[in-house]
Amino acid sequence: MPTTGRRGLVGPRRAEHSLAHEELGALSLPIGDDGVVIGADAEGRPQVIGLHHPVPYDVLLVGGLWTAQVLALRAAGTGARVAVETGRAQVWSNLVQAAGAGQECISLHDVGRVPPMGATVSSPVLVVRDCGMRPPRGRVASMAWQSVVTLLPYLSPSAPRLLRSASLVGVQRVSPDEAREIGRRMQLPQRDVDTLSTLGDGVTLWCTRHDRQYAVTQPTDAESGLLGVPRRLD
C-alpha cells in the first residue's frame, strides 16, 4: 500500500476548465436530468424539468389545462407541496382529492388568496396559477425553493410581461400569429415558429432564449384514469 506522506493522496491531473462570464448563459438548458419528468423527446429519452431552485424561478405555459395538471401531479409525486391558484376550482377538485391520499400535498386557493407557503430546501413548493387570460400579479411570488407556473390558454395582453420574466417557457399548439409573436420574443428559429401551429396534443416546446427542446407527454395509467387523454383544448 503506497504511503501518502504529509501531502495526502495525489488525484488525477487534468487541465483546468473555465468559461468567460458572457458564456455562462449557454449553460442554461431548459430540460435536464433532475426534477419532474414532463415527457420524452423524439428518440424516446425522458425529458425532465428542474422546478426547485435556490433562486426565484418562473415558468410560463402557453397551453392546455391537461398539461398543467400533469405537471402538478408529477411535482407532488417528487415530494413538493403544490398550491393551485384558480378561479375554476371545479376542474381541479378531483385531482386534489386523488393526489392527497390522506395528505394535503396539493391545495386549492381562490385567485389572490394563496397564503405564504414557507418553502425550504427540504420542503419545496410549486405554485400553479390557473387564473385565465389576464392573471393578476400574484400575491405569492417565486422565491428560493418556491417556483411559480403560470398557465395561459393563449397569448393575451399579459403575455409580454410573463414572457419577459419567465425562466422557462412551454408552448403548445398556437395560431400562426401567436407563433410569430412568441418566436420574436423568445428568439426562436423560423423552423420552430412554423412548427408551433402544427403541434399535436400533448406536445410542448420548452425553451429559454438559449436553448429549446420538444417533449411529448404520455400519461401513466393512473393519470389517464384521472385526467383522460392528452389534449390542447380544455
Q: What pLDDT score does 24 carry?
A: 38
Q: Where are the domains of the chain?
A: 36-226
Name the helix (H) or strand (E) containing 194.
helix 190-196
Q: What pLDDT score does 13 carry?
A: 36
Cβ(150)–Cβ(58) under 8 Å? Answer: yes
Q: What pLDDT score does 31 carry?
A: 53
List, as one string, the DSSP characters of 44-97: --EEEE----SS-EEEEEES-HHHHHHHHHHHHHTT-EEEEEES-GGGTHHHHH
> Measured at the alpha carbon of residue 182, what is the angle toward residues 177 and 184, in degrees to the nearest 5?
95
Q: What pLDDT score does 100 carry?
A: 67
Strands laid side by side in the 57-62 sheet: 46-49, 36-40, 212-216, 203-207, 168-171, 57-62, 146-152, 125-130, 81-86, 106-109
Q: What pLDDT score does 139 carry?
A: 80
pTM: 0.84
| CATH 3.20.20.70 corresponds to the domain 36-226 | no
Distance CA 59, CA 142 (A): 10
List, as one string, the DSSP characters of 153-172: SS--TTHHHHHHH-SEEEE-
pLDDT tens by residue, the chain, 234 residues: 444 443 333 333 333 334 444 443 333 345 544 689 999 998 999 999 999 999 999 999 999 999 999 999 999 999 999 999 999 999 999 999 888 655 678 999 999 999 999 999 999 999 999 999 999 987 889 999 999 999 999 999 999 999 999 999 999 999 999 999 999 999 999 999 999 999 999 999 999 999 999 999 999 999 999 999 999 998
Q: What pLDDT score does 40 carry?
A: 95
Going 12 to 14 to 16 to 19, the CA torsion angle's sign is negative
